[in-house]
């Protein structure tokens, strides 16, 4: 069976076959117990009659338990074979104990509704009514004598005597065969039809629920497959080949992004504007999932185009801010830290649009937060003016930027990871490479969070000046 498109009805049919076989196993046990008790004299049913009917009935009830174990064919055919065994076995037993087993005829109808197949329930009802009709008339000639139907308390010993009795009663104006049909069979058949209507109504309702469940499962599978592709597309849009720019010995850069869902709203980017300028971007879009991921891709593309066109960080942010506001009906916004690093001089020109404070380490010092001036978030308001600031990075200095998913990571007691613990993790390996530094922080976050669920994207980027 195709696990990507699991047919819930075929699965139910297989389980229903096993369930019905189990019910018939119980019925076989009850019938066998009644047979033994009759042999021991607890009942007054003719032993010869019971010794003929009971073994056949028990064998037919046991046969489905064997069939479900060895059957290699279609499940839909097996269910008809199982129900056939049930009706035939019940018919044989009912022929000998017509009155006593009248309520047992409801069992096949109830079990057939368990398959949630109206067609199978219809066929089972027809089979029940036919088998019960046959067993009623067979029982007149061979079953336990019923004084109410015969209007006679005598206990005839064979079918010939009963046949003669029925002919005499009919000749005397008492059509016994018609009376049995009208006053015995019809009322019981009506009861069985009512049982069928109740059962099939519940079956159809459950069928509808299962159908909806199957459609929902397939829709989830489709969405899951599409999200998997979206995850791959998003990952391919972010720089993911490290070491990046191996031809540049002046700096070492590494970045990572771990989305809380299949796709995230965080992103990082780094690219060469020209041979002497490296652009650095890290951002966090409001919201999660696919909408945030789409807004992220748009923002990333616009920012890169703006910077590569020669705009300064300030000009690029102001231009892209207004572009993002166009047709932003979802009213999403994004926090952005954008910088252009001049490789030859170490001068870094940056703009912060509502993003987290970067952390900077000097060659002979420790990581500290650089509390730069925050501008307004992007796509929040039109014609926002952003302010640039400049810092200089020298050999051995490091820059660490991140999204709020780092500081706001929480453990099972809802305690926040925080920037203080982040700085401690950074300073434990302050002389490490950019990659080792990010791995250390990520390991520390995982150790702090434990088994708590990740609610926000965790994105980090580090740059180390090597010369």
List all residues 6 or more positions away from 341 whose beta carbon is below 8 Å from its beta carbon: 251, 277, 278, 279, 280, 347, 348, 393, 463
pLDDT at 296 over 60: yes
For residue range 434-449, what is the model confidence (pLDDT) as tens digits? Answer: 999 999 999 999 999 9
Structure confidence at residue 331 (pLDDT): 85
Domains of the chain: 3-220 (no CATH), 241-465 (3.60.40.10)
Determine the Cα–Cα distance for residues 386 and 351; give it in Å rounded to an integer. 7
User: Taking the CB of residue 409, how many other CB atoms lie within 10 A of it?
Assistant: 23
Does an H or E element contain 189, and which?
A: helix 186-237
| pLDDT at 4 > cutoff 50 | no
Nearest partner of 310 among 344, 279, 334, judged by Cα: 279
Q: What mean pLDDT is predicted for residues 215-224?
A: 77
Mean pLDDT of 457-464: 93
pLDDT in the model for residue 2: 40
Total residue length of the chain = 467
Residue predicted with more confidence, 6 or 437: 437
In this predicted structure, the answer to whether residue 16 has a pLDDT above a threshold of 60 is yes
Residue-wise pLDDT for 251-260, tens only, equals: 999 999 888 7
Q: 3-state secondary structure string, 255-311?
A: EEEECCCCCCCEEEEEEEEECCEEEEEEEEECCCHHHHHHHHHHHHHHHHHHHHCCC
| pLDDT interval class at 463 (50, 70, 90) | very high
Q: Using 50, 70 and 90 to split pLDDT, how confident is the model at 295?
A: confident
Residue 246 exposure: Cα atoms within 13 Å on the Cβ side? 3
* pLDDT reported for residue 5: 37
Greater confidence, 372 or 148? 372
Q: Which residue has the higher pLDDT, 213 or 324?
A: 324
Q: Which pTM was predicted?
A: 0.59
**Tens of pLDDT along 354-388?**
999 999 999 889 999 999 989 999 999 999 999 99
Q: Over the stretch 86-104, which tens digit does the pLDDT of each residue have?
A: 999 999 999 888 777 888 9
Which helix (H) or strand (E) covers residue 15, if one does?
A: helix 8-39
pLDDT at 3 over 50: no
The DSSP bridge pattern shows strands 334-342 and 347-353 to be antiparallel
pLDDT bracket for residue 6 (50, 70, 90): very low
- DSSP output for 370-435: --PPPBPPBTSSTT-----EEEE--TT-EEEEE-HHHHT-B-TT--B-HHHHHHHHHHHTTTS-HH
pLDDT digits (tens, 9 = 90+) for 52-90: 889 999 999 999 999 999 998 888 899 999 999 999 999
Strand, coil or helix: 147? helix
First and final C-alpha spacing in the chain: 61
List phi, psi (to 5°) of 268: -130, 160
* CA 8/CA 21 separation, integer angstroms: 20
Six-digit token string for 249: 């010995």
- pLDDT of 320 > 80? The answer is yes
């Amino acid at each position: 069976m195709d696990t990507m498109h699991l047919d819930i009805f075929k699965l139910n049919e297989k389980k229903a076959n096993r369930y019905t076989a189990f019910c018939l196993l119980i019925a076989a046990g009850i019938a066998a117990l009644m047979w033994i008790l009759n042999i021991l004299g607890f009942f007054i049913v003719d032993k010869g009659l019971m010794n003929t009917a009971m073994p056949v009935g028990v064998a037919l009830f046991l046969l489905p338990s064997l069939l479900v174990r060895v059957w290699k064919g279609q499940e839909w055919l097996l269910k008809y074979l199982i129900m056939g065994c049930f009706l035939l076995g019940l018919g044989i037993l009912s022929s000998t104990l017509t009155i006593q087993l009248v309520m047992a005829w409801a069992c096949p109808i109830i079990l057939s509704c368990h398959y949630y197949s109206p067609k199978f329930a219809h066929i089972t009802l027809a089979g029940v009514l036919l088998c019960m009709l046959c067993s009623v008339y067979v029982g007149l000639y061979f079953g336990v004598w019923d004084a109410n139907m015969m209007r006679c308390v005598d206990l005839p010993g064979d079918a010939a005597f009963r046949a003669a009795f029925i002919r005499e009663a009919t000749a005397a104006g008492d059509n016994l065969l018609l009376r049995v049909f009208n006053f015995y069979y019809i009322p019981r058949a009506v009861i069985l039809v009512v049982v069928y209507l109740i059962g099939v109504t519940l079956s159809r309702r459950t069928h509808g629920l299962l159908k909806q469940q199957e459609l929902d499962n397939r829709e989830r599978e489709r969405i899951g497959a599409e999200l998997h592709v979206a995850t791959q597309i998003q990952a391919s849009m972010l720089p993911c080949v490290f070491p990046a720019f191996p031809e540049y010995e002046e700096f070492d850069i590494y970045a990572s992004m771990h989305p809380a869902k299949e796709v995230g709203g965080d992103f990082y980017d780094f690219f060469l504007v020209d041979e002497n300028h490296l652009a650095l971007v890290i951002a966090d879009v409001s919201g999660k999932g696919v909408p945030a991921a789409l807004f992220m891709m748009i923002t990333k593309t616009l920012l890169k185009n703006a910077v590569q066109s020669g705009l300064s960080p300030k000009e690029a942010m102001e231009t892209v801010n207004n572009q993002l506001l166009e047709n932003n009906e979802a009213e999403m916004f994004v926090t952005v830290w954008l910088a252009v690093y001049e490789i030859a001089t170490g001068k870094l020109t940056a703009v912060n649009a509502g993003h987290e404070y970067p952390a900077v380490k000097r060659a002979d010092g420790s990581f500290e937060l650089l509390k730069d001036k925050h501008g307004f978030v992007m796509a929040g308001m039109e014609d926002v003016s952003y302010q640039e600031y400049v810092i200089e990075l020298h050999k051995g200095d490091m820059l660490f930027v991140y999204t709020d998913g780092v500081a706001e990571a929480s453990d099972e007691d809802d305690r926040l990871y925080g920037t203080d613990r982040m700085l401690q993790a950074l300073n434990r390996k302050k002389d490490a490479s950019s990659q080792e530094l990010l791995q250390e922080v990520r390991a520390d976050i995982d150790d702090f969070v434990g088994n708590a669920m990740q609610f926000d994207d965790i994105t980090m980027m580090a740059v180390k000046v090597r010369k």
